[in-house]
Amino acid sequence: MTTLTTPATLVGQSPADATTASSTERAVKRSRVLDILATAGRDSVLLTSQSAVSWYLDGSRVGISLAGDPIAAVLVTADGDHVVTFNNEAQRLAAEEIPAGLTIHQVPWHGSLTNVAGWFGPGVSPTAEAELAVELRLARRSLLPGELGRYERLCQDAAGILTDVLSVATPQTTERAIAADMAGRIVAAAADPLVLLVNGASRVDFRHPLPTDATLGRRAMAVICARRDGMIANVTRWVRFDAGSPAELDAEARIAAVEADILDATVPGATVAEVLEEIRTAYDRHGFGPNQWRLHHQGGPAGYAGRDPRATDAVTDTVVLNQPFTWNPSGPGVKIEDTVLLSADGIRPLTADPRWPSTLVNGILRPTTLQL
């Protein structure tokens, strides 16, 4: 087993003041994790999930396959932090990803990241991340200033990509062409295209529409979930090529009213389960019936996971300031999905582009359907 120490300055690193801010925020995160360990009566924890590792390492890219597990783990102990990775990944991580000053332990490419005794040695018996999953999720729910700045830029980029792509679409454009254009722009923005969904008029009833060769026709929906700096922006937009039917316009107004009620319920101290209960009643109140919420997940807290976690009755996490959310109310032929932040001044949309048409709903600018 060999070790590396990350350089004082990484390739492409921000200026010294940004590095200092990052170090300060990492110290805050470390303190949060140590508090969790103290409360649990444990001496260490091994972080192994994409969400936890990228959060703890300031958004370091610790994945190769978008569908695979991270190629690094982090051992957090009272004496320090230790990163472990495979021998074919260590040099790149040290040069380009891992924050300065951390020691990287290497295991063979065919070895195990979780065999801590093998690469670290005896003396620690770390808690598995799964045992502290809820506590760690709560530790990352409120974004620090540096995280928020990175996240807001990603969210704006994702919204802007949808504007760029859909503004030049036509009824003859295929769903796959829309997805391909979105994917290229997301990669060019240094992000990962985790989810790309598109439906044209012929497939408008599908709420998770993987793109096909079908043309858009008279209306379409496009969805982006993009990851950068470990965080994921989620956004949905609609475009149409006619004036829209009365039924469509009515449904769009009613689903906007549902979302407004959800955002009103997203306040400090509320639980995620309580917001979900408001979602159920909002659907019924605005003419979608009491069971509409059963037909698609309703979103939830966002940030270092697409939903961190999805809202269910079992999620008793409380809502806090500086926490991002992506709620996604939907009904037949309609859906709203934006990443927002609960700030001290209330709800602030993050996936926003001033070029996209919008309207005020309960005092918050909300996107409408782009009519071409």
CB count in 10 Å sphere of residue 277:
15
Strands 370-371 and 103-107: unpaired
> Taking residues 129-152, what's their average pLDDT?
98
Same domain, 130 and 271: no
The domain in which residue 124 lies consists of 3-140
Same domain, 161 and 78: no
Of the candidates 140, 165, 190, which is a domain's last residue? 140
- What pLDDT does 101 receive? 82
CATH label of the domain that carries residue 83:
3.40.350.10
Q: What is the overall mean pLDDT for the chain? A: 94
Residue of 5 and 113 predicted with greater confidence: 113
Same domain, 288 and 253: yes
Of the candidates 140, 167, 183, which is a domain's last residue? 140
Same domain, 236 and 295: yes
Could you tell me which residues are beta bridge partners of residue 84?
A: 73, 105
**Range with top average pLDDT, 14-18, 97-101, 244-248:** 244-248
> Taking residues 19-26, what's their average pLDDT?
77
Q: How many domains does the chain have?
A: 2
Strands 370-371 and 231-240: parallel
- What pLDDT does 19 receive? 53
Same domain, 24 and 74: yes
Of the candidates 124, 140, 156, which is a domain's last residue? 140
Same domain, 179 and 312: yes
- Flag whether pLDDT at 10 surpasses 60: no
Same domain, 204 and 249: yes
CB count in 10 Å sphere of residue 24:
12
Assign 11 a pLDDT band (cuts: 50, 70, 90): very low
The predicted-structure confidence for 291-318, as pLDDT tens digits, reads as follows: 999 999 999 999 999 999 999 999 999 9
> Taking residues 281-290, what's their average pLDDT?
97
- What pLDDT does 6 receive? 56
- Flag whether pLDDT at 16 surpasses 60: no
- Flag whether pLDDT at 12 surpasses 60: no
CB 263 within 8 A of CB 362: yes
- What pLDDT does 23 receive? 86
pTM for the whole thing?
A: 0.94
Q: Is the dihedral of CA 218, 178, 147, 48 positive or negative?
A: positive
Distance CA 61, CA 53 (A): 9
What is the helix, strand, coil percentage profile of the chain, to 5?
35, 25, 40
Q: Is the dihedral of CA 2, 3, 9, 11 positive or negative?
A: positive
Same domain, 66 and 179: no
Distance CA 106, CA 254 (A): 55
> Taking residues 265-292, what's their average pLDDT?
98
Same domain, 286 and 351: yes
Q: How far is CA 149 from the centre of its chain?
A: 14
Distance CA 109, CA 114 (A): 13
- What pLDDT does 17 receive? 41
Same domain, 310 and 361: yes
CATH label of the domain that carries residue 172:
3.90.230.10
The predicted-structure confidence for 62-71, as pLDDT tens digits, reads as follows: 999 998 999 9
- What pLDDT does 304 receive? 98
Same domain, 193 and 244: yes
Same domain, 73 and 218: no
